[in-house]
Amino acid sequence: MKTHSSHHTSTLAGPSINQFTTRSHNCGELRISHVGQEVTLCGWLEFSRMNKFFTLRDGYGTVQSIIPEDVCHKFNLDQLAFESILRVTGTVQPRPDGQANKSLPTGGIEIHVSQLEVLNEAKKRLPIHVKDHNRAKENLRLEHRYIDLRNRELQNNLRLRSQVIMKMRECMINDYGFVEVETPTLFRRTPGGAQEFVVPSRKPGHFYSLVQSPQQFKQMLMVGGIDRYFQIARCYRDESTRPDRQPEFTQLDIELSFTDREKVIDLIEHVLIKSWPYDDNPIRGPFPRMTLAEAMERFGSDKPDTRFGYELQNFTKLLATQLTMPEGVRKQDFRAYGVVIRAEQAQKLASGLKKSLEDIAKKSNFCKFTQSQITPDWSSGPIVRLLGKESAEALCEQYSLRPGDLLLLGWGKQTYVQNMMGRIRLAAYEALEMRNLVPARQSHAHNFLWVVDFPMFSENEETGQIESTHHPFTAPHPEDSASLNADFTDNIYNIRSLAYDLVWNGVEIGGGSIRIHNSQLQRMVLQDVLKIEHAHLHHLLDALESGAPPHGGFAIGLDRYVALLCNAASIREVIAFPKSLDENK
Amino acid sequence: MKTHSSHHTSTLAGPSINQFTTRSHNCGELRISHVGQEVTLCGWLEFSRMNKFFTLRDGYGTVQSIIPEDVCHKFNLDQLAFESILRVTGTVQPRPDGQANKSLPTGGIEIHVSQLEVLNEAKKRLPIHVKDHNRAKENLRLEHRYIDLRNRELQNNLRLRSQVIMKMRECMINDYGFVEVETPTLFRRTPGGAQEFVVPSRKPGHFYSLVQSPQQFKQMLMVGGIDRYFQIARCYRDESTRPDRQPEFTQLDIELSFTDREKVIDLIEHVLIKSWPYDDNPIRGPFPRMTLAEAMERFGSDKPDTRFGYELQNFTKLLATQLTMPEGVRKQDFRAYGVVIRAEQAQKLASGLKKSLEDIAKKSNFCKFTQSQITPDWSSGPIVRLLGKESAEALCEQYSLRPGDLLLLGWGKQTYVQNMMGRIRLAAYEALEMRNLVPARQSHAHNFLWVVDFPMFSENEETGQIESTHHPFTAPHPEDSASLNADFTDNIYNIRSLAYDLVWNGVEIGGGSIRIHNSQLQRMVLQDVLKIEHAHLHHLLDALESGAPPHGGFAIGLDRYVALLCNAASIREVIAFPKSLDENK
Q: Which pLDDT score, from 0 to 100, does residue A464 have?
A: 81
Query: Are the C-beta atoms of B445 and B438 separated by less than 8 Å?
Result: no
Q: Exposed e or buried b for every residue in B374-399, given b needs 16+ CB within 10 A? A: beeeeeebbbbebbeeebbeebbeee
Q: Tell me the pLDDT tens digit for each residue of A275-331.
A: 999 999 999 999 999 999 999 999 999 999 999 999 999 999 888 888 888 888 888
Query: Which residues in chain A touch residue B119, judged by CB atoms under 8 angstroms apart?
Result: 258, 517, 549-550
The confidence band for A2, taking pLDDT boundaries of 50, 70 and 90, is very low
Q: Cβ contact (<8 Å) for B186 and A173? A: no
Helices (H), B170-260: 215-223
**A454 vs chain B: nearest CA distance in angstroms?**
22
- Residue A1 maps to a domain: no
- Residue B297 maps to a domain: no
CA nearest to A130, candidates A67, A222, A45:
A45
Any idea how long chain B is? 585
Compute the CA torsion angle B465, B466, B470, B474 (nearest 10 deg). Answer: -150
**A252 vs chain B: nearest CA distance in angstroms?**
13
pLDDT at A242 exceeding the cut of 90: no
The confidence band for B395, taking pLDDT boundaries of 50, 70 and 90, is confident
* A472 preceded by a cis bond (ω within 30 of 0): no
Q: Which pLDDT score, from 0 to 100, does residue B138 have?
A: 84
Residues A88 and A67: their CA atoms lie apart, in Å, by 10
Query: Are the C-beta atoms of A574 and A559 separated by less than 8 Å?
Result: yes
Q: Exposed e or buried b for every residue in A391-418, given b needs 16+ CB within 10 A? A: bbeebbeeeebeebbbbbbbbbbbbbbb
CA nearest to B311, candidates B296, B322, B323:
B296
Instruction: Judge if A357 and A385 occupy the same domain.
Output: yes
Type of residue at B10: S
- Residue B134 maps to a domain: no
Number of domains in chain B: 3
Instruction: Judge if A243 and A314 occupy the same domain.
Output: no
- Residue A466 maps to a domain: yes
Angle at the Cα of A448 from the Cα atoms of A440 and A255, rounded to 5 degrees = 150
Which domain CATH number covers B99?
2.40.50.140
Q: Which pLDDT score, from 0 to 100, does residue B8 have?
A: 38
Our measurement of the distance from residue B574's CA atom to the centroid of its chain's CA atoms, rounded to an integer in Å, reads 11
Q: Tell me the pLDDT tens digit for each residue of A395-407.
A: 888 888 888 999 9
Q: How many C-alpha atoms does A362 have within 13 Å on its Cβ side?
A: 6
Query: Which residues in chain B touch residue A149, judged by CB atoms under 8 angstroms apart?
Result: 220-221, 223-226
Q: Tell me the pLDDT tens digit for each residue of B486-544.
A: 566 668 889 999 999 999 999 999 999 999 999 999 999 998 898 887 676 888 999 99
How many DSSP H helices and E strands does chain A contain? 19, 22
Instruction: Judge if B429 and B320 occupy the same domain.
Output: yes
Residues B339 and B313: their CA atoms lie apart, in Å, by 6
Instruction: Judge if B462 and B420 occupy the same domain.
Output: no
- According to DSSP, the β-strands at B248-257 and B228-236 are antiparallel
**A119 vs chain B: nearest CA distance in angstroms?**
7
Which domain CATH number covers A186?
3.30.930.10
Query: Which residues in chain A touch residue B236, judged by CB atoms under 8 angstroms apart?
Result: 186
- The residue-averaged pLDDT of B242-254 equals 88
Residues A293 and A490: their CA atoms lie apart, in Å, by 18
For the entire predicted model, the pTM comes to: 0.94
CA nearest to B501, candidates B218, B302, B278, B234:
B302
Query: Are the C-beta atoms of B138 and B92 separated by less than 8 Å?
Result: no
Query: Which residues in chain B touch residue A284, judged by CB atoms under 8 angstroms apart?
Result: 1, 4
Q: Using CA of residue B387, residue B392, residue B395, residue B400, what is the dihedral sign?
A: positive
Q: Exposed e or buried b for every residue in B83-105, given b needs 16+ CB within 10 A? A: bbbbbbbbbbeebeeeeeeeeee
Q: Write phi, then psi, for A76 (nearest 5 degrees).
A: -120, 65
Instruction: Judge if A388 and A506 occupy the same domain.
Output: no
Which domain CATH number covers A396?
3.30.1360.30
Q: Which pLDDT score, from 0 to 100, does residue B547 have?
A: 97
DSSP element (H, E) containing B109: strand B109-120
Query: Which residues in chain B touch residue A256, judged by CB atoms under 8 angstroms apart?
Result: 20-21
pLDDT at A184 exceeding the cut of 60: yes
The residue with greater pLDDT, A390 or A26, is A26
Residues 6+ apart with CB under 8 A from B60: B17, B26, B27, B28, B29
Q: Which domain holds residue A567?
A: 158-290+446-573
Instruction: Judge if A286 and A314 occupy the same domain.
Output: no
Angle at the Cα of A330 from the Cα atoms of A329 and A334, rounded to 5 degrees = 75
Instruction: Judge if B393 and B475 occupy the same domain.
Output: no
pLDDT at A435 exceeding the cut of 80: yes
The confidence band for B15, taking pLDDT boundaries of 50, 70 and 90, is very high
A225 vs B59, B122, B577: nearest CB = B59
Instruction: Judge if A79 and A177 occupy the same domain.
Output: no
- For B447-576, strand residue ranges (E) read 448-452, 457-459, 466-468, 499-504, 507-514, 551-557
Residues A441 and A305: their CA atoms lie apart, in Å, by 10
Of the three residues B402, B434, B466, the one that is the final residue of a domain is B434
Q: Is A363 exposed, middle or buried (0-12, 13-18, 19+ CB in 10 A)?
A: exposed
Residues 6+ apart with CB under 8 A from A355: none
Residues B173 and B176: their CA atoms lie apart, in Å, by 6
Instruction: Judge if B430 and B450 occupy the same domain.
Output: no
Compute the CA torsion angle B68, B70, B71, B72 (nearest 10 deg). Answer: 70
Could you tell me the CA-to-CA distances from A301 to A29, A111, A424, B511 in Å, in that order? 46, 56, 11, 52
The confidence band for A260, taking pLDDT boundaries of 50, 70 and 90, is very high
Angle at the Cα of A145 from the Cα atoms of A140 and A146, rounded to 5 degrees = 135
Best of A162, A167, A172, A232 to disrupt the B interface (most B CBs within 10 Å) is A162
For B198, name the nearest residue in chain A, comparing CA atoms only: A199
Q: Cβ contact (<8 Å) for B256 and A21? A: yes
What is the DSSP-derived secondary structure letter of residue A356? H
Q: Cβ contact (<8 Å) for A550 and B224? A: no
Residues B320 and B330: their CA atoms lie apart, in Å, by 12
Residues 6+ apart with CB under 8 A from A560: A244, A507, A509, A571
Angle at the Cα of B566 from the Cα atoms of B560 and B567, rounded to 5 degrees = 85
Q: Tell me the pLDDT tens digit for each residue of B452-489.
A: 999 999 988 778 889 999 999 999 999 998 888 656 66
Q: Which pLDDT score, from 0 to 100, does residue B240 have?
A: 60
Q: Cβ contact (<8 Å) for B176 and A286? A: no
Of the three residues A379, A403, A434, the one that is the final residue of a domain is A434
Instruction: Judge if A278 and A343 occupy the same domain.
Output: no
For A168, name the nearest residue in chain B, comparing CA atoms only: B166
Q: Tell me the pLDDT tens digit for each residue of B183-220.
A: 999 987 665 566 788 888 877 778 889 999 999 999 99
Contacts 24+ apart (CB under 8 A), A78-81: A78/A48, A78/A49, A78/A50, A78/A51, A80/A45, A80/A48, A80/A118, A80/A121, A81/A45, A81/A121, A81/A122, A81/A123, A81/A124, A81/A126
Instruction: Judge if A428 and A548 occupy the same domain.
Output: no
Q: Write phi, then psi, for A97 (nearest 5 degrees).
A: -50, 135
The confidence band for B548, taking pLDDT boundaries of 50, 70 and 90, is very high
Of the three residues A60, A93, A120, the one that is the final residue of a domain is A120
Q: Cβ contact (<8 Å) for A145 and B220? A: yes
What is the DSSP-derived secondary structure letter of residue B400? T
Q: Tell me the pLDDT tens digit for each residue of B262-296.
A: 999 999 999 999 999 999 999 999 999 999 999 99
pLDDT at A477 exceeding the cut of 80: yes
Distance linking the first and last C-alpha atoms of chain A: 53
CA nearest to B396, candidates B428, B373, B421:
B373
DSSP element (H, E) containing B345: helix B343-346
Query: Are the C-beta atoms of B26 and B41 separated by less than 8 Å?
Result: yes
Instruction: Judge if B427 and B540 occupy the same domain.
Output: no
- Residue A213 maps to a domain: yes
Residues B490 and B466: their CA atoms lie apart, in Å, by 11
CA nearest to A141, candidates A435, A573, A583:
A573
B16 vs A17, A176, A259: nearest CB = A176
- For A109-227, strand residue ranges (E) read 109-120, 179-180, 186-188, 198-200, 207-210
Query: Which residues in chain A touch residue B85, judged by CB atoms under 8 angstroms apart?
Result: 517, 547-550
Query: Are the C-beta atoms of B335 and B316 separated by less than 8 Å?
Result: yes
- Residue B565 maps to a domain: yes
pLDDT at A127 exceeding the cut of 80: yes
Q: Cβ contact (<8 Å) for A21 and B259? A: yes
**B63 vs chain A: nearest CA distance in angstroms?**
15
Q: Which pLDDT score, from 0 to 100, does residue A35 have?
A: 97
Residues A424 and A417: their CA atoms lie apart, in Å, by 10
pLDDT at A511 exceeding the cut of 80: yes
pLDDT at B5 exceeding the cut of 50: no
Q: Cβ contact (<8 Å) for B182 and A149? A: no
- Residue A489 maps to a domain: yes
Our measurement of the distance from residue B342's CA atom to the centroid of its chain's CA atoms, rounded to an integer in Å, reads 32
- Residue A138 maps to a domain: no
Q: Tell me the pLDDT tens digit for each residue of B38-67.
A: 999 999 999 999 889 999 999 999 999 999
Q: Cβ contact (<8 Å) for A17 and B247? A: no
